[in-house]
Structure 1
Amino acid sequence: MSTFIKKGWRPAAVLLLLLSIWEVAVRLADIPSWLLPAPSAIGAEAINGFSQFQAHIQSTIALSLGGFIIGCTVGLLTATVLHLLPKLQEAIYPLLILSQNVPIIVLAPLLVIWFGFGLLPKVIVITLVCFFPVTVAALGGFRNSPPEIKHYMLMAGATKTQVFSKLEWPNALPALFSGLKISATYSVMGAVISEWLGAKKGIGVYMTLASSSFRTDRVFVAILVIMILSLLFFGAISAGEKWLIKWRKEAR
């Protein structure tokens, strides 16, 4: 706790300074609240309107978690198959890179046309956002296994499956967790984008309604919640990584 306070007071002080400048600038310039609300007004709206906003937050969290799990599972399976089948990796990997050059906001309307306004297109959007970082990170971790140990295992008669399970998979865990952290933050963004396609509730729906009614303070509240959720997801993955590393050291 003391370490967190020592390391965290500087960014907290900078954030407090920026909020203070924002508050003073808005009041001195007499900027209308619909154009740029003061931090105090945003905080008041977050507290007073939380009861109405809570259902939207819960919907986005459920959608983010579901899409994150599916996307990371698809990404890990894809990385495993491509690693075990090098020729397939040579054929598929460039296509995976090209798939990330298509903006999700452009692809989203097509998914609605193909699959309707149900849950499926929303899950596909989050899956597309989440699977690529996991795939790339896992492939990089598999390739970075110590070659001398791999050579020794093959000389000792180890099978390809044994080399993968005993050497390449454990060695890829740090890189894999890096991809999971990126995907965890992207999952919230993907959920919000998917909710713009058409949903009954969610942070994306809340933002759309707030912007159409010029409730800029509510838009900032939604942005704040998105940032908090992304940090929480990132922190959960980081905690899982530390626990796994500690557990592996104790097991050794």
Structure 2
Amino acid sequence: MTFLKKYGLSILLVLLLLVVWEIGARLYGKPFILPSPLQIVDRLWELRSVLFVGHLPSTSLIMLIGLLLSLVFGVGLSIWMHKSDIVRKAFFPLLIASQTIPIIALAPIFVLWFGYSLWSKIVVTVLITFFPITVNTFDGLRSADIHLKETLQAMGATKRQIFYKVELPSALPHFYSGLKVAVTLSVIGAAIGEWLGADKGLGYFSRRMMTQFDGAGVFAPIVLLSLTGIMLFLLVAWLEKITMKWRNIK
């Protein structure tokens, strides 16, 4: 009952959109351009062995490695910028500048540098997921209550104790917000990298189906990518809930 109360309207809206899409696609009558949802589901089932065994693991590996690298370097850089004004002034403008260049323009350069190996796709994924993790964590560290920090300093607390007792808990909600954005963007990064240069993966398979004018085949891996992103988002939300019980997240 709680689930329906919370997500009932969203589910109803999605079902309504699917019905409209189904009717519109049937009336249009050109499945190689606009397949219906049922046709996409049928094609996804037909291609299940190819997609789930041959391509989904490759895309998932790119996403996970890219997210892991973004977490390590993003959190590390945010803490470093928080501790040093010189580092903040040096790196923060570069972070902003990195997001002004279209990823689609940089991806071919990474293919040129790294070839069609896994790393060209990982670099694209890192570039697109690094920013939200770093900026949100940095903002969280800076949002710590200054009065509480001054009180602890007056009581003789060290900088390390203040960091772990005040600044880190203050940064956690912001960190999880950035991570939620990053996990969904990792799907986009992996797909873009595979679309421009790969021999396997969901993005590559979608591009291959496009050359064969298989509309349902183009949408099938896209649906799988979307479901993967949703699952990763829900996983992060679950981790947030169990690690931040003190925040009383509902």
Superposed pair shares fold, TM > 0.5: yes
Amino acid at match of 2:140: G
Deviations 1:105-129 (A, max 9, x none): 1111111222222222221111111
Aligned to 2:188: 189
Aligned to 2:176: 177
Q: Distance in 1 between matches of 2:185 and 2:13?
A: 25
Q: Distance in 2 between matches of 1:110 and 1:27?
A: 41
Report whether the alignment pairs 1:136 with 2:148.
no
Q: Which of 32, 35, 43 is matched with 2:33 structurally?
A: 35
Q: Distance in 2 between matches of 1:116 and 1:44?
A: 35
1:134–1:249 distance in 2 versus 1, CA, 3 Å: closer
| 1:96-115 equivalence runs, <5 A | 96-115=95-114
Aligned to 1:215: 214
TM-score by length of structure 2 reads 0.93
Q: CA RMSD in A?
A: 1.6
| 1:1-252 equivalence runs, <5 A | 2-29=1-28, 31-54=29-52, 55-246=54-245
Q: Is the Cα–Cα contact under 8 Å of residues 116 and 199 in structure 2 kept in the other structure? A: no
Name the SS of the counterpart of 2:199 in structure 1.
coil
Name the SS of the counterpart of 1:241 in structure 2.
helix
- How many positions carry a matched residue from both structures? 247
Query: Percent same amino acid at aligned positions?
Result: 37
Q: Distance in 1 between matches of 2:196 and 2:190?
A: 10
Unmatched segments (≥5 aa) in structure 2: none
TM-score by length of structure 1 reads 0.93
| CA deviation after TM superposition for structure 1 residue 26, in Å | 2.5
Q: Distance in 2 between matches of 1:137 and 1:249?
A: 18
Deviates more, 1:73-82 or 1:6-15: 6-15
Q: Is the Cα–Cα contact under 8 Å of residues 104 and 125 in structure 1 kept in the other structure? A: yes
Amino acid at match of 1:99: S
Q: Distance in 2 between matches of 1:249 and 1:192?
A: 35
1:249–1:94 distance in 2 versus 1, CA, 3 Å: closer
